[in-house]
Amino acid sequence: MLGYLREDGKKGVRNVILVCYLVECAKFVCEKIVSKFDDDIQLVGLSGCYPNEYTFNILKAITTHQNVGAVLLVSLGCECFDKKALYKAIIKSGREVEILTIQENSGTKQSIKIGSLWVEEAITKIKKVPREDIRVDELVIGTICGGSDGMSGISGNPAVGKAFDRFIEDGARCIFEETGELIGCEHIMANRAVNKKVAKDLLYAVQKAERYYTTMGHGSFSDGNATGGLTTQEEKSMGAYAKSGSSRISGVLKPSLYPKSKGLFLLDVVPDGKELWAFPNPNDTSEIIELIASGAHIVLFVTGRGSVVGSGISPVIKICANPDTYKKLEEDMDINAGKIIKGEATIEDIASEIYDIVLDVCGGKQSKSEILGHREFALGYKYFDNKINCF
């Protein structure tokens, strides 16, 4: 595998340009700029005029991600986002960056023209990013499950867990998440912690999720889960837990924080403090973005009912847990874990397929979502006290 060597020493498996709107009022101009180019130019941004620490940190992590080669920041001009601070962070990372302010560039048409010219120049510049071999022990791999059904927890999720064990044995950093879907599994995970502090963090993260969901009057069990054959929260939790594998858990992360050591990490995605933010995980896309913001080169997405979302920053690999769903959505699915259900493959067989396709995609092969042009992005508001947990 050949990676893109960044000035901070990290290596990316893609070399994309981000066009980032700093307020919804600038999104139209960004969309027009992106529409002039191919799939290597990606749209990201924050709709709100008032960012908080979480939204700033997510955008900072995304725009300095190892898969990103250049960034165009597009500002209306009167929003409250600290664009200069973000600009300085990107400059420090060694990437190409520019700020385009619509109010200072004669409005929509001229801003689109100026932005498009800058992107054309950036395309030429990032082609000069040096390439170097990238090893498995330099990879960060994330996983989520969405559109789960009664087969997710006995095919796709445990296959990812087996693949995670192998990646961790080879020195990679692996991240699983969805604390709200791990309720009831906290003591099982705590028994796998590398030390007492991590065990305490694991218990805190899941118990906080349970408290948050109870207070807000909702949970992680959806109508689609029930229609797909899941019968209880316990069944769903154990299925979601299966994708963590059996390795020792090295720590708990908050979104936008990079795992400092090799090993397995839980991403705590439920906000800290008073319950303010309604649904902490409103959609699968926001979960993918949080994994990427914590450094994931690639995201393994297990689905039973079928999900088609992807990302323009880090490749998303779809692992379909249900053989019937795979037949219906084969163009969107990378791996048919439903073969386990049919008796045509073992969990270990599918884990090996997952391991191999990760290396292929990191080496340049496009995932199905990349081929189709999926580039979903979602960023809302949350609050985290990064002093609570160890990293």
Range of the domain at 269: 136-372
Q: Are residues 246 and 339 in the same domain?
A: yes
The pLDDT of residue 129: 96
Pairing of strands 316-320, 298-303: parallel
Q: Are residues 71 and 149 in the same domain?
A: no
The pLDDT of residue 29: 98
Task: Name all contacts of 6-9 with Cβ < 8 Å and 24+ positions apart.
Answer: 6/66, 6/93, 6/94, 6/95, 6/129, 7/93, 7/94, 8/93, 8/94
Q: Are residues 126 and 155 in the same domain?
A: no
Q: Are residues 97 and 236 in the same domain?
A: no
Q: Are residues 197 and 260 in the same domain?
A: yes
pLDDT tens string 161-180: 999 999 999 999 999 998 98
253 occurs within a structural domain:
yes
The one-letter amino acid code at 77 reads: G
CA-based radius of gyration for the chain: 20
pLDDT band at 17 (very low <50, low <70, confident <90, very high): very high
Which of 115, 132, 149 corresponds to the end of one domain?
132
Which of 85, 114, 132 corresponds to the end of one domain?
132
Q: Are residues 242 and 183 in the same domain?
A: yes
113 occurs within a structural domain:
yes
Q: Are residues 333 and 207 in the same domain?
A: yes
Cα angle, residue 169 at apex, residues 166 and 175 outer, rounded to 5° = 75
221 occurs within a structural domain:
yes
The SS3 of residue 133 is strand
pLDDT band at 148 (very low <50, low <70, confident <90, very high): confident
The pLDDT of residue 390: 42
165 occurs within a structural domain:
yes
187 occurs within a structural domain:
yes
Q: Are residues 166 and 313 in the same domain?
A: yes
pTM of the model: 0.95
Q: Are residues 184 and 207 in the same domain?
A: yes
**What are the distances in angstroms from CA 205 to CA 30, 199, 217, 292?**
37, 10, 18, 20
391 occurs within a structural domain:
no
Q: What is the CATH number of the domain that holds 104?
A: 3.40.50.2300
Number of domains in the chain: 2
